[in-house]
Amino acid sequence: MGQNSRHASDQSDWWRDAVIYQVYPRSFADGNGDGTGDLAGVRSRLPYLAELGVDAVWFNPWYPSPMADGGYDVADYRDVDPLFGTLAEAETLIAEASRLGIRSIVDIVPNHVSDTHPWFRAALAAAPGSPERDLFHFRPGRGAAGELPPNDWVSEFGGCPWTRTTNPDGGPGEWYLHLFATQQPDLNWAHPQVRWEHESILRFWFDRGAAGVRIDSAALLVKDPALPDFVRGTDPHPFADREELHEIYRSWRAIADSYVGSRILVGEVWLPDAERFARYLRPDELHTAFNFDFMSRPWQADALRASIDATLALHAPVGAPATWVLCNHDITRTVTRYGRGDTRFDFATKTFGTPTDLALGHRRARAAALLSLALPGAVYLYQGEELGLPEVEDLPLDRLQDPMHFRSGGTDPGRDGCRVPLPWSGTAAPYGFSPEGVDPWLPQPADWARLTVEAQSTDPASILTLYREALRIRRDAVGPCGDKFEWLTGHQDVLAFTRGDGFSCVVNLSADPVALPAHTAVLLTSGPLDDGLLPADSAAWLRTG
């Protein structure tokens, strides 16, 4: 069977069990030798992605941007930043990937724009109460002289989400809302022009061959028009998960469905309430959303079992496939997270200098790869995960770029450590990411020679070889299982399940080796078996029919 052949019968359903590879363009491959990854670099590495066997690529934002938040501060949604290339090159990239059987998903950022976006510049230049300001959330301040922010909300990046403007005469003016960094003013989604604009942006990228969009901060767009203070436990929340969002996504779904073939909507929906989360996945809304619950859980059988059960239970009634995510460009890298005493992911507890056992983390990351790739649904794979890259925790402070770090007053390490440029080849930085002698935008560790694609490609025991094998076997052995899923009974600290009659997966999270469940063949293991037993922190894929 050729690559992607399982989709041949129903191409429009490809996303239900796809492996989607996340490319952070700035750090993937540097084609023009300026130290920053770009579209030329991605194009040159498409054969690598085809060989890995992924079905689609999600590209983090490549739009013109001052990069105040790694490109999530968009100045123009219909172009490409010169740092990355040109719009024509993006079109070529999408077409070339498609010829290799790889679909492209672009990142849409609807909650906010860059403060250099023409709409925001016009709003700043216009008077309070003007139609230009109405596209954003401008308000007078509180206090006798308007010196206090209009409400008590807290930015998603920490600190105050309001910035005071300066009037043309130099005096202090109104405040504007930005749930993220100061340079990311929030749009007013009650305004029809904001809706039309984003519907047009969707069409723009669908017309250029994008197979789907990833919707940034998808549950935050709509605000209570009164912008009231935040009272804990109030329902509805003043800026998260508001009812009006569903109607917006229904209109987006109608646009996606109006295209021949499939166009998919993938939501970045961070919500603690599983039922509220599932409402975004109703048949006329988003196709899928990232499953952050699974990613946030510790490396413990009970916790992961509970997350898998809850995930499958919440997706089934709405008919949407689950997604499985271990990390992304915002999250501590898997190898590092699983090597710590506390293996959960939680933005609030990130600190510098957490003791980490990388060898243990690496073993668990391999097992977690087989676990997530064996579950029913789609899998997101963040660039470098297939290389087992650790979080880079000792970046020089003067090279850090992430606003999350700066807005925390320097206490939060930020997200740069998972965005370090990929090592492709060679024995020293820049490891083939950039031409020799070029210093990449974030420095790479001196000990990454054994983690390069080149080094791992010829090593049968490498994590890259494991991923390649797993993706190949998944196509033929896991793909046809559809939604079938059943736990096997046994050891409390072992996750074992079947996917129909022919395939089962077992993951040992206990401290001791365990016997494999009944099988006719061992298809793949995350590490060597120990006298036929599955060692601690290891996983196996078994043929059972």
Residues engaged in binding ligand GLC (CB under 6 A): 69, 72, 109, 180, 216-217, 268, 329-330
Q: Which residue lies nearer to ligand GLC by CB, 174 or 330? A: 330
CA distance 101 to 468: 16
Q: What's the CA dihedral at 223, 226, 231, 232 to 10 degrees?
A: -10
The H or E element spanning position 456 is helix 453-457
Residue with tokens 């078994």: 542
Q: Which residue lies nearer to ligand GLC by CB, 109 or 534? A: 109
> Which residues, including other chains, have CB under 8 Å from residue 98's CB and lie 6 or more apart?
104, 209
Least distance from ligand GLC to the Cβ atom of residue 49, Å:
21
Q: Which residue lies nearer to ligand GLC by CB, 239 or 448? A: 239
CA distance 448 to 438: 16
Q: Which residue lies nearer to ligand GLC by CB, 81 or 268? A: 268
Least distance from ligand GLC to the Cβ atom of residue 330, Å:
5
Least distance from ligand GLC to the Cβ atom of residue 113, Å:
10
Residue of minimal Cβ distance to ligand GLC = 72
CA distance 142 to 150: 5
CA distance 473 to 251: 38
Helices assigned H by DSSP within 297-342:
301-315, 334-337
Q: Which residue lies nearer to ligand GLC by CB, 156 or 285? A: 156
CA distance 216 to 328: 13
CA distance 474 to 481: 10
DSSP of 69-102: TTT-S-S-TTS--TTT--HHHHHHHHHHHHHTT-
CA distance 261 to 10: 10
Least distance from ligand GLC to the Cβ atom of residue 458, Å:
34
Pairing of strands 212-215, 172-177: unpaired
Least distance from ligand GLC to the Cβ atom of residue 190, Å:
20
Phi-psi label, residue 163: left if phi above 0, alpha if psi -120 to 50, beta otherwise: beta
Least distance from ligand GLC to the Cβ atom of residue 368, Å:
21
Please report, for residues 50, 107, 129, 382, 416, the alpha-carbon distance to residue 20 in angstroms, rounded to integers and kept in the order given: 12, 13, 44, 9, 22
Q: Which residue lies nearer to ligand GLC by CB, 69 or 81? A: 69
Q: Which residue lies nearer to ligand GLC by CB, 56 or 181? A: 181
Least distance from ligand GLC to the Cβ atom of residue 433, Å:
21
CA distance 371 to 93: 32
The H or E element spanning position 165 is strand 162-166
Q: Which residue lies nearer to ligand GLC by CB, 48 or 59? A: 59
> Which residues, including other chains, have CB under 8 Å from residue 108's CB and lie 6 or more apart?
77, 198, 201, 202, 205, 213, 214, 215, 216
Please report, for residues 24, 305, 317, 379, the alpha-carbon distance to residue 57 in angstroms, rounded to integers and kept in the order given: 10, 28, 28, 11
Least distance from ligand GLC to the Cβ atom of residue 404, Å:
7
Q: Which residue lies nearer to ligand GLC by CB, 285 or 330? A: 330
Q: Which residue lies nearer to ligand GLC by CB, 305 or 329? A: 329
DSSP class of residue 530 equals B
Nearest to 212 by CA among 159, 286, 152: 286
Least distance from ligand GLC to the Cβ atom of residue 63, Å:
12
Q: Which residue lies nearer to ligand GLC by CB, 93 or 404? A: 404
Least distance from ligand GLC to the Cβ atom of residue 270, Å:
8
Least distance from ligand GLC to the Cβ atom of residue 112, Å:
7
> Which residues, including other chains, have CB under 8 Å from residue 57's CB and lie 6 or more apart?
20, 21, 22, 23, 49, 97, 102, 103, 104, 105
Are 473 and 526 in contact, with CB atoms under 8 Å apart? no
Q: Which residue lies nearer to ligand GLC by CB, 72 or 497? A: 72
Least distance from ligand GLC to the Cβ atom of residue 218, Å:
9
